[in-house]
Amino acid sequence: MIQEEDTAKIKSGAKVKVHERVKEGGKERISIFEGVVIARKHGSEPGATFTVRGKLGEYGLEKTYPIHSPLVKKIEFLLSPKKVKRSKLYYLRKLSTKKVREKIGQAL
């Protein structure tokens, strides 16, 4: 479960590492996904979510996480956003990694 202080820090443009619990067969492990938060929806309601866009090999990958999910163990904040002019950064889907760094000021 994510702590209250971390939910306030989840903003568009933040670079994060999300630690989530994954069950495979009878075993459970922690999977880490690193990327940029491109959207946060529904504020702090029970159904609130945030979307993280990262790279897996040469492909871009997006994962949407519920904020109040018990499967999300913790969130590490690597970089806070510089100055982001939009609340939803969906335009990053079409840009190359180099252009994203120029726009946000960090690596994808």
φ, ψ (nearest 5 deg) of residue 6: -75, -30
What are the mean pLDDT values of the chain's consecutive 10-residue runs (108 residues total)? 83 93 94 94 91 89 93 92 83 82 65
pLDDT number for residue 108: 46
Answer whether 0.75 is exceeded by the pTM.
Answer: yes
Q: Which of 23, 32, 28, 22 is nearest to 75 (CA)?
A: 32
Q: Tokens standing for 16?
A: 């994060």
- Predicted pLDDT at 81: 77
- Residue-level pLDDT at 16: 94
Which domains occur in the chain, in start order?
4-101 (2.30.30.790)
- Look at residue 77 in the predicted model and tell me its pLDDT: 93
